[in-house]
Structure 1
Amino acid sequence: MNGRQMATRLAAMLLALATSACATLAPAQADRAAAIAEAARPVAVECSEPDACARPSPLHRLAGDAFVRSTPERPVHHALILDEGTGAMLARINLIRSATTAIDVQTYIYDEDDAGRLVLDELIDAARRGVRVRLLMDQLSAMRSVETLAALSGVHANFELRLYNPTLGRARITYPQYVLAAACCWRRLNQRMHNKLLLVDGAVGITGGRNYQDDYYDWDDEYNFRDRDLLVAGPVVRDMAADFGRFWNNPLSVPPARLVDVGTMLLRDGVPALQPHPFERPERARRMREDADDPALAARLAAQAMEVSEVYYVSDLPGKHTGEDPSSHAAMSRSLRRMIESAQEEVLLQTPYLVLSDAAQQTFRDLHDRPDPPRVIVSTNSLAATDAFIAYALSYKYKRRFLREFGFNIYEYKPFPEDSPVDLAATGAFVPEYIPQDPPRRERGADRTSALNGLRHRQGQAEYGAMRYVGRRANEPVPLRRAGVRIGLHAKSMVVDERIGVVGTHNFDPRGDTWNTEGSVVVVDETFARALADSIRRDISPGNSWVIAPRDKAPVLWGLEYSLAKASEYLPLFDLWPVRYATSYEYVPGEHCPAPLPPDDPGFRDCYRPVGDFPEVNPALKGLPTRLFTAFGAGLAPIL
């Protein structure tokens, strides 16, 4: 085959791909597919009781108490921080079973693994007993198979499913289709719904960082997220429900039956049966179902709730994805910046990805330029803990700016923290004994085939919208020196002056400012703010995080080296200066160092030892790859 024939064949393949990817259902076909799904939905319910056979729930009763005691002048709310993944799952199932009229779920990722399917089965059971269930998922990370989405289109009359902002008019896209969408429709492809809500009876709701996937609930045997949700009960849930309604009723939210791949399947084969899920660990799922019915366990959670009064829900709207300037609709980002600007004593910020937008950088620069600036403490991921290699490389690039120009105290989460709320027993993993030197290539039992060489690729693992297809080094944790169940930070929270607490979905990043829609609960209450601050301070304790601080100054020409590094940092490309301003430090307790110190304390260097730029990371990954992304990746910041 000569070059011209090869070029002709390649052009024909690309044309065929473009033609198939851009195919749409005619309006009449979409109507017929939707009608097939509608006709297949059973209407019979399994319960004739007025409350749809709802089960009693101490968590649901928090809402009843809040509404009974609330007045327009003084609303009453109950707020419960859900730090533990297993507790967050138990709360969800317990609340779903307590629903009497309505359940609304909004999420970015919904996987077909054990955690996702367990919750899905509970939602379907609720629909069958008479509860209206609406499930809204961002299309880019919605389920794994067209068959599942087609089955859910006709599963029950009380169960409705919609996908937000479908790419190429499809429910699922292949990698080549993704490349095509990136080429033709980059702006729309990046406009994702990152909001996360579970609302029950319009009275109690959960929001925060967790999606529906094993690694958000301590159920993955290799990598789990240290995440945080907030359960809130009371009048503010009405605002959350109204916000969900705006997304649900927006033209960007489309029933799968009206999309090309699902609609074509329905027209050809009708509605398939929803196949039983082969649980990877069925005994674990069975125990969770039983625990969710245990009144004592739910009561234990409910007892931890705090009574608060001033609570707000702030959210971007689907309108953020219209117009020439999406950032002008970024209500969530503006609200966060106003709260930061109000700080007098301290801003405690937790984000998995320390990549700041220009507006956020200016906010922190202005804060630091005050005559008596507040302390800014940042909890974020280390390279060893993160699931987003490129994002970390860019945060590494700007460490000098963060420390000197913004005055940040930065703490980077360890991949194997000593005191994490992640339930390692729930993962079901084999945890090898730590040997403090380079381990052999294989170090696991039957459930783990390559602990050292990285993790299997899982759909939607990184919350990076358009970046999730780029490849392993973009959205999977890097190989480490040793094996074990790794933990990465995923919580998105903020405390201002220990009087305002924020828990939500915003990563304080450019994507959240410009591309994603985001939502958060804001609680103005000192008791709540202190509890949230304590949770974050646990994450930055010496056993759980390394401290980022300036390196020791070079004995000669330090000023010249600093100036050259600073100049290189400001280059959008070719930032090749080999030495960075800061590195990681480990606390060394002793007689003269009885307690941890902040990095700006005069005695810091007497109590901390440097452990290098990328502690715990496999030596092969320590140098060139991270520095290459540091040098050439600055242009990616707006979509990270």
Structure 2
Amino acid sequence: MLKRVRISKRLLKLLAFAAGLLFLYLLGSLVFFNATPKEFRVTEPVITSYSVSDPQFRRDSGRLTGRDWVNGNHIEVLDRGKDIFDAMIRDIGEAGCCITKETYNFRGDEVATRFAAELASASRRGVDIHFLMDFIGSVAATRAQLDTLQQAGVDLERWREPAWYHLSRFNHRTHRKIMVLDGRVAYTGGVNTADSWLPDPVDGGYRDYHFRISGPVVREIQGAFSENWVSARGELLLGEQYYPNSDSVGTAAMQVVSSRPREGEKRMRKMLLHAIASAENSIRISSAYFFPDRFFLDAIRDASRRGVDVTILTPGEHIDQKYIRHAAHTLYTGLIEDGVAIYEFKPSMYHAKMLIIDDYFVSVGSTNFDNRSFRINDEMNVNALDSTFAREMVQHYERDLAQSERLTLEDLSNRPLRHKTWGWIVRGTIGAYL
């Protein structure tokens, strides 16, 4: 009897050890699959023999992204939080049949409450509303705000809400900012549905841009929303109410690029590399978080070495994720040595995401120049080939530069030791797979 007891204890120890190994394996797998993509990306230099104004650029970019360019569109720039939210609320109030909305952040006593009330009112008057909000980005949404939407009949989904079958993809967030009204008007840009964007930058509000778009390209934006609605709900949005025929309303040729990295669809990074490779005169980049991989950095440095005037604008000390700024500083020396001008915005958090090339090509949307946007998040950008719109965005960019400070090699060298140490630790952690 005593021998049998000893054997049982030994077996229990073996089973406990095996269970521990299994737990560690599952935990390691969970972390690994949440932090890494599934597919390879472009790592060889992208070389083109044409500029962004060449028709061949338009043809090739369509093939690379799988998204055609659409003529006849109009795009309006909105650059103050109050004006952005007021315009969106006005259009919600005028919607007749359907609204689709996707956002990362949905939070705040003022903005989220106001949008919940307006969307609920539209739903009660018979407008079909499909609302996709990221679970992590909306974790601060109040029960009252969510109840207001659901009790009014708003079709609400929270992207990647915790569930056992989502654990390996829990870190794969939707970072898109999309709203489409009656299939005819769309909004996109960098602005979330949250109070941080409400004050002016001089009062601490986030500096950002959002865009009101009309014309045939709105169907493409609706299609990008539909991608994730199918993934979240398994429901196709079909019919004239979602995809109406739209007449030409402007002169801008536009293209929608959506990225779904969890499936290897890293179109955004590929699109940006192609555009940078086609630059002849100037590249202007703005990004809330600038921390791309070494291959992307090489593309920027190569553009500068071949004579392109490259400027990068990022947040300064008011950045909301300070560790990203410290890590980004470890990347800047080589860029500055190759002639890239790097500026940090001083008044408040700089949240804009933009690429302007040769005062003709503009890409705006939700994508930051970091590997989270390139390889983990779901993102959407709208590209435009239009000199009038490009000149307008250059004016905004130059105004932001005037409120920024250019970094020098001396600035980087004189950083506090704790910032340097923290930067290299973060780079070694989040940049391990770059």
Q: 1:515 to 1:243 in 2, by over 3 A?
A: same
Distance in 1 between residues matched to 2:86 and 2:149, nearest whole Å: 27
Q: Is the 1:112–1:143 Cα contact (8 Å) retained in structure 2? A: no
Q: Is the 2:116–2:146 Cα contact (8 Å) retained in structure 1? A: no
Distance in 1 between residues matched to 2:356 and 2:214, nearest whole Å: 20
Give the AA of the match of 1:392.
R
Distance in 2 between residues matched to 1:125 and 1:360, nearest whole Å: 46
**Deviation (angstroms), 1:125:** 0.4
State the partner residue of 1:377.
311
The sequence identity of aligned pairs, in percent, is: 25
1:388 aligns with 2:181: no
- SS of match in other structure, 1:190: coil
Higher relative contact order (CA 8 A, sep 6+): 2
CA deviations over 1:246-291 (Å, ceiling 9, x no partner): 11111x4599xxxxxxxxxxxxxxxxxxxxxxxxxxxxxxxxxxxx
The TM-score, its normalising length taken from structure 1, stands at 0.52
Which of structures 1 and 2 has the bigger CA Rg?
1
1:404 aligns with 2:337: yes
Distance in 2 between residues matched to 1:74 and 1:545, nearest whole Å: 35
Q: How does 1:139-150 map to 2 (within 5 A)?
A: 139-144=135-140, 147-148=143-144
> Could you list the runs of 5+ residues in structure 1 that have no partner in the other structure?
1-14, 19-71, 171-180, 256-305, 417-486, 552-578, 582-611, 614-622
Q: Which one of 366, 371, 374 corresponds to residue 505 of structure 1?
A: 366
Which portions of structure 1, spanning 4 or more consecutive aligned residues, are displaced by more than 6 angstroms?
A: 219-222
Distance in 1 between residues matched to 2:385 and 2:430, nearest whole Å: 32
Distance in 1 between residues matched to 2:146 and 2:387, nearest whole Å: 48
State the partner residue of 1:549.
408
> Could you list the runs of 5+ residues in structure 2 that have no partner in the other structure?
1-19, 24-67, 236-248
State the partner residue of 1:413.
345
Distance in 2 between residues matched to 1:220 and 1:538, nearest whole Å: 13
Q: Is the 1:140–1:167 Cα contact (8 Å) retained in structure 2? A: no
Distance in 1 between residues matched to 2:142 and 2:195, nearest whole Å: 21
State the partner residue of 2:101.
105
Distance in 1 between residues matched to 2:187 and 2:120, nearest whole Å: 19
1:232 aligns with 2:213: yes
State the partner residue of 1:345.
281
State the partner residue of 1:268.
none
CA deviations over 1:346-372 (Å, ceiling 9, x no partner): 0011112221223311221332343xx
Q: How does 1:180-259 map to 2 (within 5 A)?
A: 185=167, 188-218=169-199, 223-250=204-231, 252-253=232-233
Q: Is the 1:216–1:224 Cα contact (8 Å) retained in structure 2? A: yes
State the partner residue of 1:525.
386
State the partner residue of 1:314.
257
Distance in 2 between residues matched to 1:113 and 1:154, nearest whole Å: 18
Distance in 2 between residues matched to 1:113 and 1:398, nearest whole Å: 38
Distance in 1 between residues matched to 2:321 and 2:406, nearest whole Å: 20
State the partner residue of 2:112.
116
**Deviation (angstroms), 1:221:** 10
Distance in 2 between residues matched to 1:126 and 1:369, nearest whole Å: 54
**Deviation (angstroms), 1:535:** 0.4
Aligned residue-pair number: 357
**Deviation (angstroms), 1:503:** 1.2
Q: Is the 2:215–2:250 Cα contact (8 Å) retained in structure 1? A: no
Q: 1:154 to 1:527 in 2, by over 3 A?
A: closer
CA deviations over 1:605-626 (Å, ceiling 9, x no partner): xxxxxxx75xxxxxxxxx3432
State the partner residue of 2:57.
none
Q: Is the 2:201–2:207 Cα contact (8 Å) retained in structure 1? A: no
Q: Which one of 65, 78, 86 corresponds to residue 90 of structure 1?
A: 86
CA deviations over 1:583-615 (Å, ceiling 9, x no partner): xxxxxxxxxxxxxxxxxxxxxxxxxxxxx75xx
**Deviation (angstroms), 1:156:** 3.0
Q: Which one of 117, 122, 147 corresponds to residue 151 of structure 1?
A: 147
State the partner residue of 2:5.
none
Q: 1:368 to 1:113 in 2, by over 3 A?
A: same
